[in-house]
Amino acid sequence: MIPTSFPPQDEIARLTASMLLEVEAIHFNAEEPFTLSSGLPSPTYIDCRKLISFPRVRTTLMDFLAVTVMREAGFEAFTNVAGGETAGIPFGALMAERLALPMTYVRKKPKGYGRNARIEGVMGEGDRVLLVEDLATDGGSKLSFVEAIRETGASCGHTAVIFFYGIFPGAEEKLASEGVRLHRLCTWKDVVEVARAEGKFDAATLSEVKAFLAAPRAWQEARGAKIAD
C-alpha cells in the first residue's frame, strides 16, 4: 500500500527520534567515547541496522520515509529504488515495496568476478533512481553510489535516509553540487531534544553530547584526535 497521509515533518522527526531511542539504536557515552569508522572518537553512536528486527518500528519508519520522499520529490518522480550496500539494502527493498517500484542495489565496489557489476537487479538508461540508505554523515559515500547508478545511463538526483547527522558543514551542499537532494526523517538535534524530554540520559551526558554536536572536530581534537586535512 502506498502511504499518502501522515503527520507534518516536524512530528515525523520527533516520532522517529523517539523510536530510535526506544529500541536503543542511539548510544551516548561521554566518559568512554565510541570509535567511528574514521578512527575518530565520538560520544554518540547510532545503529540503524537493528531497526530491521523491530517490525512495528521499521514499518512506521518506512511509511514515514515514503511519504517524505513523495511530499518533497513528487509522487511520480522515480522508476527505480536502489539500496546502497549493505545497510541500505533492506530499507531499499521496503521502500520499493511501498512505492510499487522495481528494486535494485548498488555495490560499494565491483564484485571482482562474473559480470564485475556494481548494480544488482535491472536498471538502465532512462530510469529515475531513488538511492536509499540507513543514514548519512557527510554525504561522501552517497556520491560513489550515485556515480555507479549514473554509469548505467540512469539518473539519480535524490537520496533518502532515516537519519542524517546534520553536524558536518557542507554535507548537503556537497550532494547538491552533484545534483543530489537529501531526504531524511531526523537528525542528532531531534534526538537530543527528544532524549531530554523523555529523560533518557543524565544532564551531564547530554551536555557533553551537545558540545560534540556543536563542534565535532574541535571536540575530537581536544581529546587528542588528529583530523586529516
CB atoms within 10 A of CB 177: 11
pLDDT, tens digit (0-9, with 9 covering 90-100), for 32-91? 999 877 778 899 999 999 999 999 999 999 999 999 999 999 999 999 999 999 999 999
- Residue 223 is predicted with a pLDDT of 85
- pTM (predicted TM-score): 0.92
Fold of 9-221: Rossmann fold (3.40.50)
The 3-state DSSP class for residue 214 equals helix
Are residues 101 and 81 in contact, defined by beta-carbon separation less than 8 angstroms? yes
pLDDT, tens digit (0-9, with 9 covering 90-100), for 154-175? 999 999 999 999 988 888 999 9
Count of positions (residues) in the chain:
229
Are residues 157 and 178 in contact, defined by beta-carbon separation less than 8 angstroms? no
CA–CA distances in Å: residue 68 to residues 46, 62, 74, 183: 21, 10, 9, 7
Q: What gap in Å lies between CA 51 and CA 27, rounded to an integer?
A: 14
Report percent pLDDT > 90 for the chain: 77
Q: What gap in Å lies between CA 58 and CA 45, rounded to an integer?
A: 19
Sign of CA pseudo-dihedral 144, 145, 149, 150? negative
109-133: average pLDDT: 88
Query: Where along the chain do its domains lie?
Result: 9-221
- Residue 14 is predicted with a pLDDT of 97
